[in-house]
Structure 1
Amino acid sequence: MKRPVLIEHEEIFEALDQRKLTPAMKAKRPENVLPEITNLSGGRKKKAATMYLYDAVSYWTGNDARSFQRMLAQTDAEEIHLHINSPGGSVFEGVTIFNLLADHDADVIVHIDGLAASIASVIALAGDTINIAENGMVMIHNPSVVAWGDATVMRKQAEILDKIRDAIVNTYETRTKLDRAALTTAMDAETWYSADEAILSGFAMHKVSASEATALWVPGDFEGLPAAAMILGKKPADPAPADPPEPENMGTLEDVTAASDFIARIRANHGL
Structure 2
Amino acid sequence: MFEVKNEGQRATVYIYGTIGDDWWCPEDANRAKDFSQTLDELSPKPLDIRIDSCGGDVYEGFAIAGAIARYEGETVAHVDGIAASAASYIALMADRVSMSDYAFLMIHNAWTCCQGNRDELRTTADRLEGIDGSIAQIIASRSGMAVEDVAHAMSAETWYTAEGAKEAGLCDEVVETEERVAARIEPAIAARFLNVPESVYASGRRPETDAAVPPAADGSKGENVTEVGEPGKSHAGGNMVGTEFEGKAIVLGNRVYRRKEN
Say which SS state the counterpart of residue 36 (structure 2) adopts. helix
Instruction: Specify the SS of the correspondent of 2:159.
Output: strand
Q: 1:74-125 CA distances to partner (integer Å, 9 max, x unpaired)?
A: 3234211000011011000001000001011011111011101011000001
SS of corresponding position for 1:49: strand
Give the drift of 1:67. 1.4
Say which structure, 1 or 2, has more relative contact order (CA 8 Å, 6+ apart).
1
How far did 1:139 drift? 0.4
Tell me which residue corresponds to 1:204.
Answer: 171
The yes-or-no answer on 1:52 pairing with 2:14 is yes
- Aligned counterparts, 1:116-265, within 5 A: 116-210=83-177
1:239 shift after superposition: 6.8
Deviation track 1:108-167 (CA, whole Å, cap 9, x = no partner) reads 111011101011000001111110001111100000010011101100000100110010
Determine if contact 1:137/1:193 at 8 Å carries over to the other structure: yes
Aligned equivalents of 2:256, 2:54: Cα separation in 1: 32
Separation of aligned partners in 1, 2:18 and 2:10? 25
Please give the alpha-carbon distance, in whole angstroms, between the structure 2 residues aligned to 1:138 and 1:161. 21
Shift of 1:181: 1.5
Query: Do 1:48 and 1:77's aligned partners in 2 also have CA atoms closer than 8 Å?
Result: no
Unaligned 5+ segments in structure 2 are: 179-253
In proportion to residue count, which structure has more helix? Answer: 1
Amino acid at match of 2:2: L
Q: Does the CA contact (< 8 Å) of 2:43 and 2:71 recur in 1?
A: no
Distance 2:148 2:40 in 1: 38
Q: Select between 71-80 and 94-103 the one with higher mean Cα deviation.
A: 71-80
The answer to whether the Cα contact below 8 Å between 1:49 and 1:77 also exists between their aligned partners in 2 is no
Is the contact made by 2:97 and 2:173 (CA closer than 8 Å) also made in structure 1? yes
Give the superposed CA RMSD.
Answer: 2.0
Match of 1:64 in 2: 31
**Fraction of identical pairs, as percent:** 29
SS of 1:81's partner is strand
Name the one with the larger strand percent.
2
Distance 1:123 1:138 in 2: 11
Deviations 1:19-55 (CA, angstroms, capped at 9, x unpaired): xxxxxxxxxxxxxx211x21131xxxxx421000111
> Does 2:80 align with 1:113?
yes
Shift of the alpha carbon at 1:72? 1.4
Corresponding letter in the other structure for 1:138: L
Distance, in Å, in 1 between the alignment partners of 2:62 and 2:40 is 18
Q: 1:148 to 1:241 in 2, by over 3 A?
A: farther
Deviation at 1:208, TM superposition (A): 0.7
The Cα of 1:59 is off from its aligned counterpart by 2.0
Work out whether residues 52 and 79 of structure 2, in 8 Å CA contact, stay in contact via their aligned partners in 1: yes
Query: If the length of structure 2 is used for normalisation, what is the TM-score?
Result: 0.65
8 Å contact 1:39–1:77 — kept in the other structure? Answer: no
Aligned length: 180
Tell me if the contact between 2:19 and 2:57 (Cα under 8 Å) persists in the aligned partners: yes
